[in-house]
């Protein structure tokens, strides 16, 4: 079983991603060269080039996009971050998890979900037969809010276009929103987590399911059982759409 996916035919190919940033090249369909020292003021809200129907090319675009926005200063969190936390995993993943924002460990390491909540997320991912490497993991915000406070509306407004583009490029078959903030942001709702769970929503025409945030599960282990129900729904949606 694999969370990977071959372009077009949804055919599974287990495999590892190259190290992010190690394989940047300029595909012919891409009009601009990489911009490592891009002027932050000139960072696009989202890139608008066509999305190629080719796995390797799309993977390359995700890497390039992360590179392009990594010096973002569209909100004040850009000034306090240690690292920009773009996302991790298979850039051609069928399953994408979206959390809230980097915490301390993530800010220090530049990778989402590497702290205690991340350890639990890895277990959740493995419980439905995937590995961390074959899914994709990102956040609503790419930079850590000081003291891990909730993301502010202006920060979400500045950062969400990045995630939107990231999802557009990765083209996951199913998305899992982790926790209330991710769910409410992606679904543009103020409904409670309880109301949003146990249903299949759509985000940009892609199925999206909602579950508890792993950090919440650490505080309240009683929510692990309902989380398992959510993960079974996620797996079912995946298996209906991705054939081996
Ligand atoms: N599956 C794919 O289709 N592509 C990858 O790069 C990895 C897994
Ligand atoms: N919590 C999140 O929402 N995201 C992370 O990356 C880490 C903790």
The per-residue pLDDT for range 202-242, each reduced to its tens digit, is 998 999 999 999 999 999 999 999 999 999 999 999 999 99
Structure confidence by residue, pLDDT tens digits, 165-198: 999 999 999 999 999 999 999 999 999 999 999 9
Nearest Cα residue to atom 7 of ligand 1 = 15
Percent pLDDT > 90 in the chain is 74
Distance of alpha carbon 28 from alpha carbon 73, whole angstroms: 29
Q: Give the pTM.
A: 0.79
Where in 65-178 does DSSP place strands (E)?
Answer: 88-89, 95-99, 136-139, 174-178
Query: According to the model, what pLDDT value does residue 244 have?
Result: 61
| Cα dihedral 227/228/232/234 (nearest 10) | 30
* Residue-by-residue DSSP string for 55-90: HHHHHHHHHHHHHHHTT--SSTHHHH-SS----EE-
The token pair that represents 133 in the structure block: 């490497």
Query: According to the model, what pLDDT value does residue 130 have?
Result: 97
Q: Which residue has the tokens 């919440």?
A: 216
Query: According to the model, what pLDDT value does residue 26 have?
Result: 30
**Stretch 101-113: mean pLDDT:** 97
Q: Out of 82, 84, 89, 118, give the residue to mutate to test ligand 2, the one with the largest number of ligand atoms within 8 Å of its CB.
A: 118
Distance of alpha carbon 2 from alpha carbon 228, whole angstroms: 19
The CA R_g of the chain, rounded to the nearest whole Å, is 17
Q: Which residues line ligand 1 (CB under 6 A)?
A: 4-6, 13, 15, 17, 55, 59, 90, 92
Half-sphere exposure of 10 (CA within 13 A, CB side): 12
Q: How far is the CA of 196 from the centre of ligand 1 (A)?
A: 30
Distance of alpha carbon 237 from alpha carbon 235, whole angstroms: 5
- Ligand approaching nearest to the C-alpha of 92: 1
Half-sphere exposure of 92 (CA within 13 A, CB side): 27
Structure confidence by residue, pLDDT tens digits, 30-55: 222 333 333 434 444 444 456 777 78
Cβ pair 121, 98 in contact under 8 A: no
113 pLDDT more than 60: yes
Structural domain boundaries in the chain:
35-243
Atom in ligand 1 nearest the alpha carbon of residue 11: 3
**Stretch 101-130: mean pLDDT:** 97
Q: How far is the CA of 57 from the centre of ligand 1 (A)?
A: 12
Cβ pair 113, 100 in contact under 8 A: no
Q: How far is the CA of 93 from the centre of ligand 1 (A)?
A: 7
Query: According to the model, what pLDDT value does residue 57 have?
Result: 84
Cα separations (Å) of 218 from 101, 131, 226?
17, 20, 14
Q: Which CATH architecture fits 35-243?
A: 3-Layer(aba) Sandwich (3.40)
Q: Going by C-beta distance under 8 Å and a sequence separation of 6 or more, which residues neighbour residue 151?
A: 100, 101, 140, 141, 145, 159, 181, 185
Q: How far is the CA of 105 from the centre of ligand 2 (A)?
A: 9
Query: According to the model, what pLDDT value does residue 64 have?
Result: 94
Question: What does the mean pLDDT of the chain come to?
Answer: 84
Q: Out of 102, 176, 177, give the residue to mutate to test ligand 2, the one with the largest number of ligand atoms within 8 Å of its CB.
A: 102
Q: How far is the CA of 1 from the centre of ligand 2 (A)?
A: 26
């Amino acid at each position: 079983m694999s969370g990977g996916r071959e372009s077009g035919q949804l055919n599974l190919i287990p495999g590892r991603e190259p190290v992010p940033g190690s394989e940047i090249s300029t595909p012919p369909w891409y009009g601009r060269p990489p911009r490592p020292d891009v002027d932050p003021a000139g960072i696009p809200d989202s890139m608008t080039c066509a999305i190629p129907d080719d796995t390797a090319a799309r993977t390359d675009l995700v890497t390039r996009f992360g590179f392009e926005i990594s010096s973002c200063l569209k909100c004040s969190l850009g000034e306090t971050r240690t690292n920009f936390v773009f996302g991790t995993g298979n850039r051609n993943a069928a399953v994408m998890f979206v959390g809230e924002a980097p915490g301390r460990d993530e800010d220090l390491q530049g990778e989402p979900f590497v702290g205690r909540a991340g350890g639990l997320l890895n277990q959740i991912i493995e419980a439905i037969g995937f590995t961390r490497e074959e899914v994709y993991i990102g956040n609503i915000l790419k930079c850590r809010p000081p003291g891990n406070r909730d993301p502010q509306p202006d920060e979400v407004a500045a950062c969400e276009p990045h995630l939107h583009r990231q999802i557009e490029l990765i083209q996951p078959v199913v998305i899992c929103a982790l926790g209330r903030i991710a769910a409410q942001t992606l679904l543009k709702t103020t409904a409670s987590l309880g109301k949003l769970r146990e249903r299949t929503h759509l985000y940009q025409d892609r199925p999206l399911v909602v579950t508890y945030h792993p950090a919440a599960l650490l505080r309240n282990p009683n929510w692990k059982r309902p989380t398992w129900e959510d993960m079974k729904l996620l797996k079912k949606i995946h298996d209906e759409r991705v054939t081996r």
